[in-house]
Homo-oligomer: A and B are copies of this chain.
Amino acid sequence: MTSKNIQFELLAQEGEARCGVLKTPRGDIRTPAFMPVGTQGTVKAMLPEHVRATGADVLLGNTYHLMLRPTAELINELGGLHKFMLWDGPILTDSGGFQVMSLASLRKMSEDGVTFSSHIDGSKHSLTPERAIEIQCLLNADIQMVLDECTPFPATEEEAERSMELSMRWAARSKEAFGDRPDQALFGIVQGGIYRDLRERSIQALTDLGFDGYSIGGLAVGEGPDLMKQVLDYTAPALPREKPRYLMGVGKPEDMVAAVLRGVDMFDCVLPTRSGRHGQAFTHRGPINLRNARHAKDPRPIDAGSDCPASSRYSRAYLHHLFKAGEYLGPMLLSWHNLHYYQELMSGLREAISNGQVTGFVEGFHAQRAEGDIEPL
């Protein structure tokens, strides 16, 4: 096996919290990292240069959506996903499994994989561990995921075990299909629901195979923050120290902070863009909804001190008006602001961990939110 051109370097650790850098041929990913989601080949309502300007090092693309439209084959013919969507930094793709379960119809699971009908036009498709890798290679994804079954919550221990074991067999097939790709990374995905024994068996199975990084799947599926933290408490530290750890589909700012304290390095979530499209802005004092009448005459920007134009230049009164009037510019500006807030949170965590001050940083994070979601005018 040739040596990998994707390498993780741990720069600092404080308690379980880690700060590092995942070096890739397309650029460095500073961790803890938040990956904006570009489901259909675009981070919704954002120009790629503005996504970059928020401080994002890496994007997430969704295999399920792209395989259906415009198809992985067409994106490949056009030069790959980076060129297609004008993003020259690294791209991480999921395997498509999660979205098949949440969006597709007429699903049939078997040992081999899953067949389903497209939510767009009803056309029939199948996804196997091998096909998921093939698609991610056609997209030219820098960081790829094994196909897995995201165990639902709640699940009995027996259900979670059966599901985890299937995912581990699929992980082995995925690794085999992925083969030897020096410029691309393959991550295994830990499953096992809320059962410690299953999580540990899953980690053992994956580390026996050996992956370039480890994802934690099956969380943020309804178990709530307390159970999530419990699972992370024993799952994250059990993962190989020298590899990046990615908590899939998380999350809320407070959940990401909790996960970083438990040793997680990477995150993705649609929350900043989705909630931005609905008028919600994340702030240091908590989320605010710009549709609310209390913002109608407020001349202040969301964050006067920010270096993000969307945060610092437009008044809350204007943003309120844009959402009331149903204008495109409202979602455009709040998606931008929220992505900037998320990157700022990651950068704050990285700096705090580097300086051995993560405890104080997290105390400050919670104290600011406790002050209430908005300063009096």
Q: Hey, which bits of chain A sit against chain B, CB under 8 A?
A: 40-42, 44-47, 49, 65, 69-70, 74, 77-79, 84-86, 296-297, 299, 309, 313-315, 317-318, 320-322, 324-325, 327-329, 331-332
Contact = CB atoms under 8 A, between A and B. Distances in A.
Contact of A47 (B42, B69, B296, B329): B329
A315 to B, nearest CB: 7
A118 to B, nearest CB: 13
Contacts of A42: 322, 327-329
The 3 closest A-B pairs by CB, nearest first: A45-B328, A40-B325, A42-B329
Contacts of A325: 40-41, 65, 69
Copies of this polypeptide in the complex: 2
Given A77-B297, A78-B299, A329-B47, A321 B41 contact: yes
Contacts of A45: 328-329, 332
A85 B328 CA distance: 14
B47 A332 contact: yes
Given A46-B329, A69-B321, 7 more contacts: A40-B325, A41-B321, A42-B322, A42-B327, A45-B328, A45-B332, A47-B332
B86 A314 contact: yes
A331 B74 CA distance: 22
Contacts of A324: 69-70
Nearest to A46: B329
B78 A315 contact: yes
A38 to B, nearest CB: 10
Nearest to A310: B47
A185 B77 CA distance: 56
From A296, A314, A325, name the one whose CB has the most chain B CB atoms within 10 angstroms.
A325
A317 B41 contact: no
A70 B296 contact: yes
Nearest to A70: B321
A78 B297 contact: yes
Contacts of A331: 328
A29 to B, nearest CB: 24
Contacts of A47: 329, 332
Contact of A317 (B46, B70, B313, B321): B70
A318 B47 CA distance: 13
A327 B40 contact: yes
A77 B297 CA distance: 9
Contacts of A49: 309
Nearest to A65: B325
Contacts of A84: 315, 317-318, 321
B328 A44 contact: yes
A85 B325 CA distance: 14
A77 B321 CA distance: 14
Nearest to A273: B328
B41 A313 contact: no
Contacts of A74: 296-297, 317
Nearest to A43: B329
A315 B85 CA distance: 9
A335 to B, nearest CB: 8
14 contacts: A41-B318, A42-B327, A42-B328, A47-B329, A49-B309, A69-B325, A70-B321, A74-B296, A78-B297, A78-B315, A78-B317, A78-B318, A84-B317, A84-B318
A263 to B, nearest CB: 35
